[in-house]
């Protein structure tokens, strides 16, 4: 059923404004875009009280030892960071070689990725909404790795196509969750020895298992663990964070895969191990995660 006319008009207006904004932002140098992003984030902190309250509620769960003032300042930094991330993604298509300096995927992190890929069984790259996850994927694709990213379609198909074209320009291929044949496509990619990037740090409408996250059971997507167990692919936790110098740096850790013979138990344990690494990275750089997401929304039965 088609959405009501008023909703279609609203989406068309939003799409047109976004295209116009992107056209203008892409004229900016990187430094100017980042400064604008910080300003947009600061404005959003004041203009979006509902999102601010959600972030504060999440931080009260994750960091109960912090004072109210400390949590509020952390939320302020989170908004500024996310504003910067958004504008960096907007100008990414024209960064060229500058992307290599902004997003450092080198040293031990790159070596581990190369070694896992060289085995030929595929690699499930588990990641999170930390640092700049979009540029992280684009940087890996620039190395020539055959990388697919699993994503969620927008309710407006034009926005989905816009994102897909932007990613494809950087060599990143996208599989959209919910599209016919996506499960087969993921299996095929891994069996061809390719890389599959999957975000598992949010409570979404997919098959989940409950594992600890900041001391509470959190509904966590299980597909990454199921794919590793089914295909024999390597399980890498592949994250990034922005340093004090403004450069994003990558950390890569291969997670040992449990093989008890009980597939359900192994899927829960592997998901917990991957989530444990993600939590540690968020604890180290809390201002760079999306605290306005309601991570503990779904309750265990």
Q: Which of 260, 119, 94, 131 is nearest to 193 (CA)?
A: 119
pLDDT of residue 167: 87
pLDDT in tens, 186-197: 999 999 999 999
User: Above pLDDT 70, what percent of the chain?
Assistant: 99
Select from 294, 281, 242, 290 the least CA-distant residue to 74.
Answer: 290
| Average of per-residue pLDDT across 262-272 | 97
Tokens of 80: 């500024």
Strands (E), the chain: 103-104, 123-127, 147-152, 173-177, 195-199, 208-213, 216-221, 234-242, 248-254
Position with higher pLDDT, 7 vs 141: 141
Q: How far is CA 278 from CA 131, 271, 284, in A?
A: 12, 11, 10
Q: What are phi and psi of 198, to 5 degrees?
A: -140, 130
- For the cut 70, the answer to whether the pLDDT of residue 231 exceeds it is yes
CA distances to 50, 52, 201 from 292, rounded to whole Å, are 9, 7, 13
Question: 152 by DSSP, 3-state: which?
Answer: strand
* Three state DSSP letters for 238-249: EEEEECCCCCEE
Q: What is the mean pLDDT of the chain?
A: 94
φ, ψ dihedrals at 208, nearest 5°: -125, 160
Tokens 């663990």 belong to: 225
Three-state SS at 290: coil
- Residue 1's pLDDT is what? 58
Structure tokens belonging to residue 119:
């085995």
């Amino acid at each position: 059923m088609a959405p009501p006319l008023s909703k279609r008009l609203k989406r068309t207006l939003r799409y047109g404004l976004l295209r116009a904004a992107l056209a203008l932002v892409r004229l900016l140098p990187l430094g100017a875009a980042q400064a604008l992003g910080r300003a947009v984030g600061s404005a959003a902190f004041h203009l979006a009280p509902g999102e601010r309250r959600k972030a504060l509620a999440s931080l009260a769960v994750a960091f109960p030892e912090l004072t109210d003032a400390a949590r509020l300042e952390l939320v302020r930094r989170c908004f500024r960071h996310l504003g910067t991330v958004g504008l960096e993604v907007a100008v990414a298509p024209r960064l060229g070689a500058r992307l290599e300096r902004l997003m450092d995927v080198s040293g031990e992190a790159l070596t581990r990725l190369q070694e896992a890929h060289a085995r030929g069984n595929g690699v499930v790259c588990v990641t999170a909404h930390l640092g700049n996850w979009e540029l992280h994927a684009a940087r890996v694709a620039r190395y020539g790795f055959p990388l697919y990213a699993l994503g969620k379609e927008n309710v407006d198909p034009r926005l989905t196509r816009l994102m897909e074209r932007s990613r494809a320009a950087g060599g990143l291929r996208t599989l959209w969750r919910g599209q016919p044949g996506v499960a087969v496509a993921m299996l095929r990619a891994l069996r061809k020895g390719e890389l599959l990037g999957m975000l598992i740090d949010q409570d979404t409408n997919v098959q989940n298992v409950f594992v600890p996250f900041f001391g509470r059971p959190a509904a966590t997507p299980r597909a990454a663990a199921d794919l590793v167990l089914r295909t024999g692919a390597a399980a890498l936790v592949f994250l990034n964070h922005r340093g004090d110098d403004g450069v994003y740096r990558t950390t890569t850790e291969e997670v040992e895969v449990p093989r008890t013979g009980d597939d359900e138990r192994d899927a829960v344990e592997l998901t917990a191990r991957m989530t444990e690494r993600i939590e540690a990275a968020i604890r180290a750089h809390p201002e760079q995660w999306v605290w306005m997401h309601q991570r503990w929304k779904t309750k265990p039965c």
